[in-house]
Amino acid sequence: MPSVDPPTAGPPTIDPPLALLAELTHRCPLACPYCSNPIELERASSELHGEDWRRVLREAAALGVLQVHFSGGEPMVRRELATLIAEAASHGLYSNLITSGALGGEREIAAFAEAGLRHVQLSLQDHEAANADRIAGLAGAFERKMKFAAAVRAAGLPLTLNMVVHRQNLDGIAEMIDLAQSLGARRVEIAHVQYYAWALENRAALLPTRAQLDEATRIVEAARERLKGVLAIDYVVPDYYGVRPKSCMNGWGRQFLNVMPSGTVVPCHAAQTIPGIDFPSVREASLADIWYRSDAFNRFRGTGWMPDPCRDCDRREIDWGGCRCQALALTGDAARTDPVCALSPEHGVIEAALTEAAAAPAPFIYRRYR
Ligand code: SF4
Ligand code: FES
């Protein structure tokens, strides 16, 4: 397919997307209470077919996308995964598999490597089996993950461990880093839970205390120093404890697009929670049209939409006003400044959540696919 030129009319500064998140399905054997999938999970019957996904991959490459992340739910639920990896590779796309590691093993991983997979990100809930399985909501999941990690290494693929940390596993962070080393990972991504979707439902169970956070940060910084050149450690702190927000998705519609299982295309995981935006589908429009011309991708692009105090702030092209979905969830209006920012008039909602975090944690509400 020939490459797609940006339109000559319209917003002048839109670069092609860097990466496509291909959410092949919302089906998943795990039930993590911080899942970034929407509360209303999409049904298997509404999922795109393999041939639709192959077209999406072709269009993505023509649009200028460089990386495709196969994700879900659990992407290995989809039996066409190896053929989709091969399709991505045939268009020069770098493909990454983001998986729970709860399905499949050596045979599947070898087939993916053969098809052109370049990298695997495996989620890990804790270093200790009982708590890991409790958080994942699946007995035996930890054991399967250990075998899966070994299969990835046996296939010669680079392995990153994704550790989502929160109040109920943060005290084991040193042991989690040790485990990553013993599994032969090259990189760990230690990311504090971000509070959208299922995680927002479970915030009172997941938000760490300040003391926990400070100790974990100290351990991570020491490990980074100690393991320089051996294990790369990325660390994403919880924005509730910051004074300025994160640059969510590096800005709305700037670098990323997510194609959901049904084909709906969104700029971020939680975008569909924002009312009044008609999110387009790959069933009806090309990725290029969606990226350059859709209202959904242009709605919060750049700085023109910004309210005070973002409008005149010297960080407006650094954090892009923070997260639109968090602004909606916590203020009721996606066009407000992210209340994580201490300059936001609504910053008090964050302080109230942190006060709540000092109390005993609530039980989990698990994400179940029914
Ligand atoms: Fe970022 Fe807006 Fe806060 Fe400035 S006022 S730091 S642009 S969120
Ligand atoms: Fe939607 Fe941050 S998750 S903009």
pLDDT exceeds 90 at position 197: no
CA-nearest residue for atom 2, ligand 2, is: 323
What are residue 148's DSSP bridge partners?
none
Ligand 1 centre to CA of 178 (Å) is 37
Q: Which two tokens stand for residue 231?
A: 């294990």
Nearest CA to ligand 2 atom 1: 325
Given the CA of residue 309, which atom of ligand 1 is nearest to it?
Answer: 5
Ligand in nearest proximity to the CA of 253: 2
User: Tokens 């994580």 belong to which residue?
Assistant: 340
pLDDT band at 10 (very low <50, low <70, confident <90, very high): very low
The predicted pLDDT at position 357 comes to 77
**Rounded distance, CA 292 to CA 129, Å?**
46
Residue 95: beta bridge partners?
Answer: 68
Q: What is the pLDDT confidence band of residue 8, given thresholds at 50, 70 and 90?
A: very low
Asked whether the predicted pLDDT for residue 269 surpasses 60, the reply is yes
pLDDT in tens, 273-318: 999 999 999 999 999 999 999 999 999 999 999 999 999 999 999 9
- Measured in Å, residue 21 CA sits from the centre of ligand 2 at 14
Q: In this predicted structure, what is the pLDDT of residue 12? A: 47
Tell me the CA–centroid distance for residue 228 and ligand 2, in Å: 32
Question: With a 6 A CB cut-off, is 310 part of the ligand 1 pocket?
Answer: yes
3-state secondary structure the chain: CCCCCCCCCCCCCCCCCCEEEEECCCCCCCCCCCCCCCCCCCCHHHCCCHHHHHHHHHHHHHHCCCEEEEECCCHHHCCCHHHHHHHHHHCCCEEEEEECCCCCCHHHHHHHHHHCCCEEEEEECCCCHHHHHHHHCCCCHHHHHHHHHHHHHHCCCCEEEEEEECCCCHHHHHHHHHHHHHCCCCEEEEEECCCCHHHHHCHHHHCCCHHHHHHHHHHHHHHHHHCCCCCEEEEECCHHHCCCCCCHHHCCCCCEEEECCCCEEECCCCHHHCCCCCCCECCCCCHHHHHHHCHHHHCCCCCCCCCCCHHHCCCCCCCCCCCHHHHHHHHCCCCCCCCCCCCCCCCHHHHHHHHHHCCCCCCCCCCCCC
Those residues with Cβ within 8 angstroms of residue 266's Cβ, 6 or more apart along the chain or in another chain: 257, 258, 260, 272, 279, 296
The string of pLDDT tens digits covering residues 207-248 is 999 999 999 999 999 999 999 999 999 998 888 998 999 999
CB-facing half-sphere around the CA of 177: CA atoms within 13 A: 24
Going from the Cα of 53 to the center of ligand 2, the distance in angstroms, rounded, reads 24
Which ligand ends up closest to the CA of 323?
Answer: 2
Distance 276 CA to ligand 1 centre (A): 24
* pLDDT value of position 82: 98
Closest residue CA from atom 5 of ligand 1: 310
**321 CB near ligand 1 (under 6 Å):** yes
Query: pLDDT above 90 covers what percent of the chain?
Result: 89
Q: 77-134 pLDDT, tens per residue?
A: 999 999 999 999 999 999 999 999 999 899 999 999 999 999 999 999 999 999 999 9
Give the amino acid at 93.
Answer: L
Ligand 1 pocket check for 313: Cβ under 6 Å: yes
d(CA 255, CA 18): 5
Atom of ligand 2 nearest to the CA of 248: 2
Judge if the beta carbon of residue 309 lies within 6 A of ligand 1: yes
Among all bound ligands, the one having the nearest atom to the CA of 340 is: 1
pLDDT of residue 370: 66
Cβ atoms of 21 and 268 within 8 Å: the answer is no
d(CA 254, ligand 1 centre) in Å: 17
Which ligand 1 atom minimizes the distance to the CA of 322? 8
Rounded Cα–Cα distance for residues 178 and 174 (Å): 6
pLDDT at 360: 78
Kindly indicate the confidence band of residue 5, based on its pLDDT and cuts at 50, 70 and 90.
low
Ligand at minimal distance from the CA of 338 is 1
The alpha carbon of residue 285 and the mean position of all alpha carbons in its chain are separated, in whole angstroms, by 24
User: Which range among 3-17, 53-67, 239-253 shows the weakest confidence by mean pLDDT?
Assistant: 3-17
Ligand closest in space to the Cα of 36:
2
Q: Would you state the pLDDT for residue 9? A: 43
Distance between CA atoms of residues 85 and 77, nearest Å: 14
- Is the minimum distance from the CB of 339 to ligand 1 under 6 angstroms? no
Return the closest-CA partner of residue 203 out of 361, 32, 30. 361
Which of 303, 316, 336 to mutate for ligand 1's pocket (most ligand atoms within 8 Å of CB)?
316
